[in-house]
Amino acid sequence: MNASFARHAPTAVRRSVRPRPLRLLIVIAAVLIVSILPATARADNSETRPTIVLVHGAWASAPGWDMVVAGLEKDGFATATPTLGLLSIAEDVAIVRAVLDGISGPKILVGHSYGGIVISNAAYGRSDVLGLVFTAAFVPDQGDSIFSIGAGFHTSEAFNHFIWTGTPFASPAFIDSAFFAQFFCQDLNPNLEATLNAEQIPLNFSIALTPSGPVAWHTLPSWYAVSGKDLMVDPAEELFMAQRAGATTVVFPAASHAGGITHYATGFVKLIEEAVQETAD
């Protein structure tokens, strides 16, 4: 009974008759059912929601997903952000598959940049992955390498500014910190640019030449966010890969390579949640 009804309830109907035991039990049961059902419904809903597994790319790290993770967790989703070694595709695929094995229930896999190759391979043959979401990412077919899939598209000038950790072209490399923001995240504020720059994990150059294994997008639905001002991966190449995969595609017109997961994080969260809705039973 709400407060306004209590104030206006007629006093003439008041009685001092003691409730019958059976009627009292029915009332108590009804109250318990009403109070318990919503909580049960929420629990069932959370258990059937997929976990969102977000896989970073080259010259990046797991904290690069922080804005996307915050948006997803605000909306009630569980997330996982594995850290790749960036030494070989096989090792990185194994890292992600181990994470998937440790999470019960369905998953949506999300990949940025090189992470698109990893999720395409890691999801292959798995029934627990419902869909793939890409942002400024490579979407290979089996046998494609980063170099071969980029044939005919613009090659990033960032590749002229590598800092090698060992023998050139035979060891992992960073992007020279003096040029990182210019090519990787030119649309971000200086503080965020500096943070992403400091979090670089070097990429083993051999990855760019390694052919992809079997990929999951032939059998799983996919979504793709194209970064319109990407200076690391040609936006035309991104659109080609998205169309080849039959992905539901959005374009963030002014986004840098990292802009889709930072400056456009809210829009990208919506795309991930669209994937969740479209793959729900």
The reply to whether 115 and 250 lie within a common domain is: yes
Structure tokens at 77: 């989703």
Q: Is residue 135 part of a domain?
A: yes
The reply to whether 71 and 31 lie within a common domain is: no
For 13, list phi and psi in degrees, rounded to 5.
-95, 0
The reply to whether 148 and 231 lie within a common domain is: yes
Where are the strands (E) in the chain, listed by range?
51-55, 79-80, 107-112, 129-135, 162-164, 172-175, 203-204, 222-227, 248-252
| DSSP assignment letter at 49 | S
Task: Please list the residues that pair with 223 across neighbouring strands.
Answer: 133, 248
Q: Is residue 12 part of a domain?
A: no
The reply to whether 215 and 181 lie within a common domain is: yes
Q: Is residue 113 part of a domain?
A: yes
198: CATH? 3.40.50.1820
pLDDT of the chain, 281 residues: tens digit per residue:
333 323 233 333 333 333 444 443 333 333 333 333 333 233 334 458 999 999 999 999 999 999 999 999 999 999 999 999 999 999 999 999 999 999 999 999 999 999 999 999 999 999 999 999 999 999 999 999 999 999 999 999 999 999 999 999 999 999 999 999 999 999 999 999 999 999 999 999 999 999 999 999 999 999 999 999 999 999 999 999 999 999 999 999 999 999 999 999 999 999 999 999 999 97
Q: Structural domain of residue 75, as residue ranges? A: 50-279
The reply to whether 42 and 129 lie within a common domain is: no
Q: Is residue 6 part of a domain?
A: no
CB 118 within 8 A of CB 94: no
The reply to whether 40 and 64 lie within a common domain is: no
> Can you tell me the distance from the alpha carbon of 117 to that of 122, in angstroms, rounded to the nearest whole number?
9
How many folded domains does the chain comprise? 2
Task: Please list the residues that pair with 112 across neighbouring strands.
Answer: 135
The reply to whether 30 and 62 lie within a common domain is: no
